[in-house]
Chain A
Amino acid sequence: MANQDEKLVKSEASFMRLRTSPKMRSLKGFYRKLKRNRAALVGGYLIILLMIIATIGPFFLSHGINDVDYTVRLQPPSSEFWLGTDHNGRDIFSRIIYGAQITLIVGFLSVIFGGVAGVVIGIVSGYYGGKIDAVIMRIMDVLLAFPGILLALAIVSILGPSIINVIYAVAIYSVPSFARIVRGSTLATKELEYVDASRALGASDFRLIFKHILPNVTSPLIVQATLSIATAILTASGLSFLGLGAQPPSPEWGAMLNDGRGYMYDSGYIALFPGLAIVLAVLAFNLFGDGIRDALDPKTK
């Protein structure tokens, strides 16, 4: 949640520079630039690793997520239980692997929902301008007035606690930052000569938006989406930690932290490993997002 504001500030300056240059349109050129950025590479590989773990990891586990066994409760890490067991004797390592699925799904889905809505709102606002723009941007200001996790918290309190509602909450929460960035890029692109030329030739609004405006907002969009996933993971795990998201016995990482909190005094590892998993996942997306921002920014070479 915290790096949301950094993104907002950067959106004013550096995001504006991120309009896709013709060269970057080719995926190959993008990849070549990306390869030179070590942070992006590390982040990218970490994300791929996380996805592999989330999809095929569960097939390799010898313990189930809800194999309750009170004879082995609160065991420290061992060769049998790599990261120890929790207060119900469940294998923490297995639960973390399963939890990766939940984390990634929540992260991706909420950002896709929020991103799509934000893009549509941003384009409409920037392209049509005038009163529509003024009204839409005031609405975005209102959403931004609920700082950090508070908006998500308010939404969950309306909809009721569940992981699905967390996805909606985080999606709504990420709409304004997408809308602002896309609006900015749209405003900048709209005035370019070739767009004018195309309009003069009689291109429809629809065509102008899809042919000319949208391709130009892709770069800032990719950066924003990646960084938003990091924020989404933090917010979602925070809500689950508060007991407002994924409910026990779900192996969601934030919920695991909440679940094991009471046993932390004697068994510190219970709270250590799910938290490390969150840090790793968030770090991966932050690294990748930072990296592609630098790679796509014409100012940094």
Chain B
Amino acid sequence: MFKFIVRRLLQLIPVLFGVTLLVFLMLHITPGNPAAILAGEGASQETIDNVANRLGLNEPLHMQYIYFVMDAIRLDFGTSWRTGMPVADEIGSRFWVTVELAVYSTILSVFIGIIAGVISAVRRYSFTDVGIMLLALFGLSMPNFWLGLMLMQWFAVQLMWVPASGWGSASQVILPVIALGTAGAAIIARMTRSSMLEVISQDYIRTARAKGTKERVVIYRHALRNALIPVVTVVGLQFGYLLGGAVLTETVFAINGLGRLVVDRIASRDFPVIQASVLIIATLFVFVNFLVDISYRLLNKRIDLD
């Protein structure tokens, strides 16, 4: 196991190298000279040169990359081109809002997804099963921003049960979390169902039934445990997609998260903020996937990932 963890950690290196390189290059492959963008329109060549010097854009590219990574490790992302504030300060609290949103949504989608998937599988081909699967299909075909708008329309505007925007109190959290978590719930429900069905058809389940074990015990102790193993991988991926999808939900509900910050700054081409946000989310996702791999391995001792 230890060897496996070390090997997986070593595998992270090329991925993180690639991720940082891509994010670093964002600034350099963008059409137009970055220093000219920052200097603003109509700036003289001298101003542009000064800006380029100040940003270190005249250094060789590989040195710039090394500085970029060294700074990023110390969470120093420079200053925002728009506000002039340190990027780390701008991102700080917003990052946690986005993580909170993604975590709550993941919990919701796992909870609902697994329950719905198990019910569907146990009552295969019944009216309930068909109903749940149809709902799931709708759930994953729905844009989360539209679902958010609709929820807001009904529960915040018409019924006035909850506030329409913001983040913090439980009543503010509930709609965004439903909007963001629904597609995940649908995916997890489908995964759980097919995984359960596969497990239920196996010999050891038949044996358990044959020796007279109660159906409840068969389902929950024997089948579900094994059926959930593949679901674990989806949960990790799901968390990542929710981090990405949070961009849309945050925009709908005017939540001051990282996603909304990025969207806001794309128009003004505030590259330090965009780069830092993208880098942070991608890195977080890489580590979540690493943890998922480890837990997958712990849960399933039969597979040999070596």
Interface residues of A (CB under 8 A from B): 1-6, 8-9, 138-139, 141-142, 145-150, 153-154, 156-161, 230, 234, 237-238, 241-244, 254, 257, 261, 264-265, 268, 271-272, 275, 278-279, 282-283, 286-287, 290
Shortest distance between the CB of A234 and any CB in chain B (Å): 6
Give A241 to B240 CA distance when docked, in angstroms: 21
Give A264 to B149 CA distance when docked, in angstroms: 9
Query: Given A6-B187, A147-B243, A279-B141, are A157 and B274 also a contact pair (CB < 8 Å)?
Result: yes
B-side binding surface: helix, strand, loop or mixed? Answer: helix
Chain A residue nearest to B243 in the complex (CB): A147
Q: In the assembled complex, which residues on chain B have CB atoms less than 8 Å from the CB atom of A153?
A: 244, 247, 262-263, 266, 278
Give A150 to B286 CA distance when docked, in angstroms: 14
Shortest distance between the CB of B157 and any CB in chain A (Å): 5
Query: Given A142-B15, A153-B266, A154-B26, are A282 and B141 also a contact pair (CB < 8 Å)?
Result: yes
Contact in complex: A2, B243 (CB < 8 Å): no
Tell whether B138 is near chain A: CB-to-CB under 8 Å.
yes
Contact in complex: A242, B263 (CB < 8 Å): yes
Query: Given A1-B241, A5-B237, are A150 and B248 also a contact pair (CB < 8 Å)?
Result: no
Q: In the assembled complex, which residues on chain A have CB atoms less than 8 Å from the CB atom of B137?
A: 283, 286-287, 290
**Set A9, A150, A238: member contacting B191, Cβ < 8 A:** A9
For the complex of A and B, list the 10 residue pairs with the smallest distance between their C-beta atoms, beginning with the closest.
A148-B244, A142-B18, A147-B240, A275-B146, A2-B183, A5-B237, A282-B141, A148-B241, A150-B244, A283-B141
Give A197 to B14 CA distance when docked, in angstroms: 38
Contact in complex: A150, B141 (CB < 8 Å): no
Tell whether B257 is near chain A: CB-to-CB under 8 Å.
no
Contact in complex: A150, B243 (CB < 8 Å): yes
Cβ contacts A to B, 5 pairs, < 8 Å: A6-B187, A9-B234, A157-B262, A264-B152, A283-B137
Contact in complex: A271, B26 (CB < 8 Å): no
Chain A residue nearest to B269 in the complex (CB): A157
Q: In the assembled complex, which residues on chain A have CB atoms less than 8 Å from the CB atom of B183?
A: 2-3
Chain B residue nearest to A7 in the complex (CB): B187
Shortest distance between the CB of B166 and any CB in chain A (Å): 16
Residue among A2, A148, A150, A243 with the most chain B CB within 10 A? Answer: A2
Give B128-157 as 1s and 0s: 1 = Cβ < 8 Å from A's Cβ atoms: 000000000110111111100110110001
Q: In the assembled complex, which residues on chain B have CB atoms less than 8 Å from the CB atom of A283?
A: 137-138, 141
Tell whether B230 is near chain A: CB-to-CB under 8 Å.
yes
Shortest distance between the CB of A150 and any CB in chain B (Å): 4
Q: In the assembled complex, which residues on chain A have CB atoms less than 8 Å from the CB atom of B18?
A: 138-139, 141-142, 145
**Set B230, B234, B247, B266: member contacting A150, Cβ < 8 A:** B247
**Set A141, A146, A230: member contacting B278, Cβ < 8 A:** A146
Give A64 to B242 CA distance when docked, in angstroms: 38
Contact in complex: A261, B143 (CB < 8 Å): no
Q: In the assembled complex, which residues on chain B have CB atoms less than 8 Å from the CB atom of A238?
A: 143, 145, 247-248
Residue among A142, A160, A271 with the most chain B CB within 10 A? Answer: A142
Q: In the assembled complex, which residues on chain A have CB atoms less than 8 Å from the CB atom of B145?
A: 238, 241, 254, 257
Give A158 to B25 CA distance when docked, in angstroms: 10
Contact in complex: A2, B31 (CB < 8 Å): no
Q: In the assembled complex, which residues on chain B have CB atoms less than 8 Å from the CB atom of A150?
A: 243-244, 247, 278, 281-282
Shortest distance between the CB of A179 and any CB in chain B (Å): 15
Q: In the assembled complex, which residues on chain A have CB atoms less than 8 Å from the CB atom of B15?
A: 138, 141-142, 145
Tell whether B19 is near chain A: CB-to-CB under 8 Å.
yes
Give B226-249 as 1s and 0s: 1 = Cβ < 8 Å from A's Cβ atoms: 000010011001101111110110
**Set B146, B150, B245, B285: member contacting A149, Cβ < 8 A:** B245
